[in-house]
Structure 1
Amino acid sequence: MAESKGSEKERMVVTRVFDAPRELVWKAWTDPKYVMQWWGPDGFTCPVCKMDFRVGGKAQFCMKSPDGQEFWNGIDYIEIVPYEKIVSSMYFADAQGNKIDASALGIEHEAIEDAYDVTLFEDLGEGRTKLTFIGNEPMESAKESGQLEGWNQILDKIAGVVAELKASA
């Protein structure tokens, strides 16, 4: 499956190496009870996370800002290769999961047409895992809008979840 149809723009890419086996990083990324601990940048919480994690399935998340404002996202799962790769389409949504335009929320979001989000889980050996998230937003736009900073904060939060999973394993 094509992950992106002909885009000349550099896509947003964030990576993180975790000192944990790939199965634990996958679990932190795909289990709603753990996703609720990391969805959103610093100061944001995730009071709602519903996931039908399968090809053709959907997910719905609520990200709540420190001042109580709610931002909803949806995800359509396109391709899942267990412990290796997830191809999905993430979008802004209302509380019922219906797609809405980011501008309706006062958010500037430039998406690359026909590009999907891709999450890769690479086993580096010795119990280490590299996670790479490739977004459907151009890198320059992601830097300007704060998306890049937000995703790096999210990866910091995931690192905490993964560390807790590893400690309890």
Structure 2
Amino acid sequence: MRLSPLALLLPLLLACTDPTRIPAAERRAIADSLSALVVQAYDFSRPGAPERLLALYPDSGRVISGVAGRVTTTRDTLAGEIRGFWDRVGQNMRNPHFVLGSTYVDVITRDAVVMTLTYSIPHTTPLNTPHVVSGAWTMLWRNQGGRWVIVQEHLSDTPESTAPGPSVVAAPTADSTTTHRH
């Protein structure tokens, strides 16, 4: 039995193919999926914001979250932090609108993604004063059982986020998108 040159070349070509290579279209689809999850979670026009925010994280296990100079390591502690944010800040925002700034997505594997973005939440305080909460957020997403969840994150507020009074919101750039976040 004699093999054709193609039959001899095919195993060599398959051996040289990187099985971890993810095509650009698939990378874009993953990035778009994660952006959509953030948009849905931070839609402050709907009730149930704390539950939607918490739904971005796994139902159990370790979750590392660095915020405001503190680190939490459990889902229960993170749930308390999210509810505390909502009780102190979120429920007092009038007409909040989450604006997504620059977004950078690195698809490491089909099950692990790092996403970094900037955001702002212009709103009015209960005293009818314009105010903006803003910062940068880096997330490590994992696909666990077909569900994308944040397993590690770091949020960094801009100094203006804590200052009372009017703030200026930067005009969107060509690569910015609107979405919603805490």
Relative to the length of structure 1, the TM-score reads 0.31
Relative to the length of structure 2, the TM-score reads 0.30
Identify the structure with bigger relative contact order (alpha carbons < 8 Å, sequence gap 6+): 1
Q: Which has the larger radius of gyration?
A: 2
